[in-house]
Structure 1
């Protein structure tokens, strides 16, 4: 009877030990953490206490990297440190009270090694929204409202430069580094766009009229030169048409007509030089 009880006790003890081992293994598999950070980002590793302890900052890592297995409940906040483009869309009244729509693009990177500062002081992943966005928008509005609507496109580089200098100065003591600011598409109201199209069409028509005017002027010059040529020719001819020359030409014409078998010609001698009037008869 004792042997039987001893066997049962041994079985129970083995079951308890097995359960304990499985529990330890299960706890180890589920409790251990291994935070990781991808390439181009930096990770802020912190502990979330399970029951006891204060938790908090544990360290940082530059991706790609793993923090390593730990029984602590470690987690990571990854921050992209690479240059990224942040776009803001505006509808702003220009200096002449015309509502203009356009985009501004700011290219901003984060200084390497500053992930702890970004997380603890600037809102982690929300750093742009919490610390940069509204200041950026204010600088854009202040600068654009100095110009009339018609001056914006021709001064877009000047506007971008002014906003860049102000934003760089604002970010100079922070981990955020502004690369540049670019003015995107500028869209005027339809009424302005239509007016611009009409103006361009009128300018094109005016250019065509100027071209036609130039062609007409050149044509007139050609006609003047032709008239001068004809007048000069007539002057030369008039100077050479003497009475003897005309009589010589008339005699030659009479000889040619007399030799022609196709018709009969009657000569009537008239005129001071005996130059006949010529009349054809069929």
Structure 2
């Protein structure tokens, strides 16, 4: 548009000085040619608009938004139209308690009240994109700053509305996936009404109050101590059972000895033992027995 305006001004100037009586009349023709070139370039640049890959353009002429979208590539447009370009790729919006980690500086985490009246801090990332066909509607009804007008407030509101159905500890542990699924459905339906597609919802962190954390840690320590005690008791029980079996085995052995060995068998075992002693080169033992027991002397 600027080139067209400059060209028009130069064309007007060339007509003004195109007078034989003027000293500058000889410059009228060159200025006219330059003006025509500028007007042609201006019209060409205004009627041809390049849209980059992953983007979509929307035309508006004097405030009236066109229903036709401009896809990626070169598009012929009204030279008087204003083009608003939307990013159609996947975008993310992060709300975090860590400084400079989220889209807004400082602590931007979501603080919610749970069913048991405790305040829980939620860090969240929303992955979303716009529907290209809905870009004109977004421009008319929301504007190009849909991130701050739709994504942020709807996400924070849906999380607060659903957190009241869960206790803090359940929200932190057992019910976390259920909570994420629930808020995903609510946010998805609200986004869809406004031309946005929710791709994924990531609960990055849930911070509990310090008092609740200490309670959980105490409970975990108590459970670990209980499991340790159960292990000790089981080990003692197994040891007691081992000793009982060992004692029973000894008792059974003694019973067999007292009832099952005859005099001849005992005499035989005695002879075997004496024979082994007699084979030893260092034997200096004299074994005195009854009449049937021999006396064994060592070699030395």
Name the CA distance, whole Å, in 1 between partners of 2:84 and 2:257: 106
| Alignment match, 2:247 | 227
Name the CA distance, whole Å, in 2 between partners of 1:182 and 1:73: 43
1:137 Cα deviation (Å)? Answer: 1.6
Residue in structure 2 matching 1:210, options 208, 230, 240: 230
| Alignment match, 1:120 | 140
For residues 204-257 of structure 1, give each alpha carbon's deviation from its aligned partner in whole angstroms, at most 9, with x where no partner exists. 343233223222222221211111111111112112456676677778888998
Q: Is 1:14 aligned with 2:26?
A: yes
| Alignment match, 2:167 | 148
Name the CA distance, whole Å, in 2 between partners of 1:168 and 1:87: 17
For residues 140-197 of structure 1, give each alpha carbon's deviation from its aligned partner in whole angstroms, at most 9, with x where no partner exists. 1011022111110321232233323333444454323344544332222444435434
The change in CA–CA distance for 1:41 and 1:10 in structure 2 (over 3 A counts) is: same
1:77 Cα deviation (Å)? Answer: 0.7
Pick the structure with more strand per residue. Answer: 1
| Alignment match, 1:42 | 56
Name the CA distance, whole Å, in 2 between partners of 1:67 and 1:257: 115
| Alignment match, 2:153 | 134
The change in CA–CA distance for 1:256 and 1:28 in structure 2 (over 3 A counts) is: closer
Name the CA distance, whole Å, in 2 between partners of 1:253 and 1:121: 110
The change in CA–CA distance for 1:161 and 1:253 in structure 2 (over 3 A counts) is: closer
Off by >6 Å, runs of 4+ in structure 1 = 243-261
C-alpha root-mean-square deviation of aligned residues, in Å?
A: 3.9
TM alignment of 1:240-251, pairs within 5 A: 240=260
For residues 84-128 of structure 1, give each alpha carbon's deviation from its aligned partner in whole angstroms, at most 9, with x where no partner exists. 3333431223222332222334443333322221111111x2123
Residue in structure 2 matching 1:79, options 60, 74, 86: 86
TM alignment of 1:64-213, pairs within 5 A: 64-68=72-76, 72-88=79-95, 89-123=109-143, 125-152=144-171, 153-171=173-191, 173-213=193-233
Larger Rg: 1
TM-score by length of 2: 0.68
Matched position secondary structure for 1:114: helix
Structure 1: which 5+ runs fail to align? 1-7, 48-54
The change in CA–CA distance for 1:40 and 1:235 in structure 2 (over 3 A counts) is: same
Structure 2: which 5+ runs fail to align? 1-19, 96-108
Whether the 8 Å CA contact 2:187–2:198 is kept in 1: the answer is yes
1:83 Cα deviation (Å)? Answer: 4.2
| Alignment match, 1:237 | 257
The change in CA–CA distance for 1:275 and 1:83 in structure 2 (over 3 A counts) is: same
TM-score by length of 1: 0.71
Name the CA distance, whole Å, in 2 between partners of 1:181 and 1:259: 89
Name the CA distance, whole Å, in 2 between partners of 1:151 and 1:182: 18
